[in-house]
Amino acid sequence: MTNRTGRVVGRLAPSPTGRMHLGNIYAFLIAWLSARSQNGLVHLRIENLDTRAEDPRWTSLLLSDLEWLGLTWDGNPVYQRDRQDIYRETERELQAKGLLYPCFCTRAELHAASAPHVSDGTPIYPGTCRKFSDAEISKRSHTRPPAMRLIVPDEDDPAATIAFQDRVFGSRSENLAMTCGDFLIKRSDGIFAYQLAVVVDDAEMGITEIVRGRDLLTSVPRQIYLQRLLSLPEPTYAHIPLLTAKDGRRLSKRDRDRDMEALRERFETPERLLGWLAYTVGLTAAYEPRTADELALSFSWDLIRQHRQDIVAPEPPRE
């Protein structure tokens, strides 16, 4: 998919909640290589919806680390914290269509309920608050502020089934009513949910190609549903296998031996780090220093599709 200029537009979308780790670098590298190998643009978005969890030091380090790696971007970075008015406008648009309702369920109540849970442990919302009367809503609002949920079609409604093609995992189809139920677009603390924010941001930034870890594959049907409700373009999606630790858990920002501070100290140059990472994930046949630009010249999605299984990250070599 291309935008009005005919160019592919990808994006890097880090969250400033800690130092980047090897898994983040891998996902950002593939997103960057895909766009650049097609002579496309790459935009940078700092996903700081919850400013209370943000530390300015992490934002500064994110920018520094991406520049050090050579994962350059086009234009100025976009910060979600600056886009609250746009999210509120989208919320009002959905409200005017009669698609939102307040939800007073706590997280503990949802997880304690007997309702089924999706693969990541998130409960499928049973619609508890959907039919509350105005009087009941007013009463409960005095107890706690509500979250806002988006109504999805009933499971026998054709609109509930979202089919899409993933560049790595192929044809996918999910029934929203059966896999998630009515989902949040704003939390009870007033912070807009990831699903709403990224859909609005991607459309406004002209993003045509989304590349990210396969842990976010289940988000796609909800995002496509929102795109259709809001008459927004649908980008293409590619979800890549995760890098995991030896015990199978995915890498996180708590893995200090795999974060950028440790990696930069161990590899000393971005070429050494990128060359080793490219070899680890199967982009190259041998371990040799490479720049991001050099890797873009030989990048192919066929190299990613060779395996859909998560990749155990080996111990970085001592140089």
Q: Residues at the annotated binding site for ATP?
A: 253
Q: How far apart are CA 42 and CA 59, in angstroms?
A: 18
By three-state DSSP, how is residue 112 classified?
A: helix
Burial of 135: CB neighbours in 10 Å, binned 0-12, 13-18, 19+: exposed
Helices (H), 128-204: 134-141, 176-179, 194-204
Q: How many CA atoms lie within 13 A of 92 on its CB side?
A: 6
DSSP annotation of 219 reads G
By three-state DSSP, how is residue 246 classified?
A: coil
Q: Look up residue 165 and give its two tokens.
A: 């093609």
Helix axes 260-267 and 270-280, enclosed angle (nearest 10)? 110
For residue 185, give the amino acid letter: I
Q: Look up residue 83 and give its two tokens.
A: 């886009």
Residue 268 CB coordination number (10 Å): 11
Q: Residues at the annotated binding site?
A: 11-15, 47, 103, 105, 125, 129, 194, 212, 253
Phi, psi torsion values for 22, nearest 5 degrees: -60, -40
Q: Look up residue 223 and give its two tokens.
A: 């995002």
Q: Of how many residues is the chain composed?
A: 319
Q: In b/e form, how buried is each residue of 235-266, taking b as 16+ CB within 10 angstroms?
A: bbbbbbbbbbeeeeebbebebeebbbebbbee
Closest to 59 (Cα-Cα) out of 77, 33, 41, 82? 77
Q: Residues at the annotated binding site for L-glutamate?
A: 11-15, 47, 194, 212
Inter-residue contact 189 to 145 (CB < 8 Å): yes
